[in-house]
Amino acid sequence: MSSTPLALFVGLPNPIISDDEFALFRETNPLGLFVGRRNQREPEQTRHLIERFREAVGRDDAPVFTDQEGGRVQHLDAGPWPLFRSFGQFAELARRDFDLGKKALRLSSQAMGAMMTELGLSSGCSPVLDLVFETTSAVIGARSFGPDPDFIAALGREVVDGLLETGNMPVIKHIPGHGHATLDSHKERPVVNASRETLTATDFKPFVALKDTPWAMVAHVVYSAYDAELPASVSPIMHDVIRKEMGYDGVLISDCIFMESLSGTLPERVKQVLDAGFDIALHSHGDIPESEAAAKAARPLTDAALKRIAAGKARLGNLKIDVRAAHAEVENMFASALVS
């Protein structure tokens, strides 16, 4: 096993790590694990799964991510875990009472962050900073705070800071923005034909405002004003746009490489992401042959990526919070404002 982890997140098909998977992870040393709904049944099982992955790779701090935004995208939605509201609902509350909306969102983010940190989860890959218009693909919908980039940035800041305070890593997504994409990148390749001026004033703006966030997830969307052929996640041109024009210097991880916006074999997709200059390829599904193929195509993290990861970890706080009490308080705030 290389002492430097591979620039790769792997996934699992089941709620346990088999002996063969354990051996594969020990041999290949992927940076992190992505767990979904299929992998998480109840707290003790989730904790054991995370501990077993970290034992396999020999790193107590190996990152384990999930999708936990709230609303329809929350993979901790079974058993004893409380259900959290969508960003669209918090946006509605903030439009009625901006200060109350921000307060509720900060507290909800702290509760969600504390819940994940207690389980050993490093991140819920949140918040979504994508704009949403009438023409935006329904894959975004209530995951977004709305069409106003300044409003999104203000609310997104509450999520970022609330998560950091509780030791959970925020990941702003999907940089540089899905707002002008009319297709779902899970199923097709979206092409955005908006001008550079339009993108700078809309989709890019919340990401620039929150560019101090330690991690960001890159969209599988083509921005033809910059690169007419390749989605951002595999485009060296868009890598330079994100790093230089937008000024983002945190960790850049691709969206899941299984999504149909990309082309080529799984190993080719891993290589495309890393060749474009991004820090990490996210392979969030997969069985043993697929994980092995992805690992063979990956390469060790660069020194620059290791420094970015370390800088992000240094910003994590240790705020302790009563998750259920905080969740109940948020619900009371919505009730007091008569927002369902």
Residues serving a catalytic function are: 186, 255
For residue 337, give the amino acid letter. Answer: A
Cα 85 vs. chain centroid, distance in angstroms? 17
Query: Distance (Å, rounded) from C-alpha 143 to C-alpha 139?
Result: 8
Give, to the nearest 10 degrees, the angle between helix 98-119 and helix 43-57.
60
Candidates 27, 36, 22, 155; CA nearest to 100 is 155
Contact indicator for 301, 6 with CB cutoff of 8 Å: yes
Cα 159 vs. chain centroid, distance in angstroms? 13
Query: Distance (Å, rounded) from C-alpha 69 to C-alpha 225?
Result: 30
Cα 274 vs. chain centroid, distance in angstroms? 18
Give, to the nearest 10 degrees, the angle between helix 266-275 and helix 288-297.
30
Query: Distance (Å, rounded) from C-alpha 269 to C-alpha 180?
Result: 24
Q: Provide the greatest CA pair distance for the chain.
A: 56
Sequential DSSP letters for 206-269: HHHHTTTSSEEEE---EETTT-SSS-GGG-HHHHHIIIIIS---SEEEEEETTSTTS-S-HHHH
Which spans in 61-97 are helix H?
A: 87-96
